[in-house]
Amino acid sequence: MAITGKKILFVSSEMSPFLEESPVSTIARRLPQAIQEHNNEIRVLVPRFGLINERRNRLHEVVRLSGINISIGDNDNPLVIKVASIPGTRIQVYFLDNEDFFHRKHLYHDENREFFDDNDERTIFFCKGVLETVKKLGWAPDIIHCQGWMTSLIPLYVKTIYKDEPVFKNSKVIYSVFKESDNACLGEEFAQKASLNELEDKHLECFGKADFKGMHIGGINYSDAVITCSDCLDPEVNKYVQDKLNISHPSEDIEHYTEKYVEFYDSVLQNS
């Protein structure tokens, strides 16, 4: 029986048409609409990168959801929530914003192609901010579908810090893993910062060196199921994939792949 009437939270590091087309942004744009058209209720959360034109995309602040502070180490970082609709659809997209983390004209690298030094804190801020936003919405997702390395802490947090929160108590987490063009590192302090002063070292061990490979392994390890969006994953990453309920989706052709996603979501929900 096809999944219908379920609440599905899509979390993605990129999404078109707000950003340029990429494997992550393309699936993030097409999949929620396809699943919504199967009579499911969806929410989409993404970072509000500086490259996203607020005026052209008609973003506006959701005051009732803004005002949360996300603490990382000794710093409190204000979270601002904005929303926009995708023309011609019933999809509303929530954007997580912070002036210090996202108001710049590049995604993950500076103009010299150097990985931003604060990508660790940007990632932690986004992942914790997603969960705090959903809590404030009071909306309990049946499935949380995470896409991109920048979402890889969400499965960990759902299974640990947020496991007793009513809105996440029955949520299943799916992680989509993509092939990366490089293997940048989030730094030696990543695990300590990502612990949020609540988690033990053992919880972050599977994230390894906090490079992209480690981020994917960590995301996979704490997920209930995995979708591989490339035929050429790192062999070590692929070993973790094989230990999970998984399917492969190397193509970006969502229109002809929707039924497989629907069936997979069903199997994840039915698998205890």
CA angle, residues 21, 23, 28, in degrees to nearest 5: 80
Burial of 40 per CB tally in 10 Å (0-12, 13-18, 19+): buried
* Three-state secondary structure call for residue 78: strand
- The pLDDT, as a whole number, for residue 4 is 64
Pairwise CA distance, residues 5 & 38, whole Å = 8
Pairwise CA distance, residues 6 & 186, whole Å = 35
Q: Is the pTM of this model over 0.85?
A: yes
Which two structure tokens, joined as six digits, stand for 101? 């983390």
Burial of 28 per CB tally in 10 Å (0-12, 13-18, 19+): buried
Contact predicate 106/113, CB 8 Å: no
Domains of the chain and any CATH numbers: 7-270 (3.40.50.2000)
Pairwise CA distance, residues 192 & 55, whole Å = 38
Which two structure tokens, joined as six digits, stand for 99? 């002036």
- The pLDDT, as a whole number, for residue 68 is 93
The 10s digit of each residue's pLDDT in 120-144 is 999 999 999 999 999 999 999 999 9
DSSP conformation class of 181? S
Q: Give me the sign of the Cα torsion angle 95, 101, 103, 106.
A: negative
Low-confidence stretches of the chain (pLDDT < 70) are 1-4, 250-256, 272
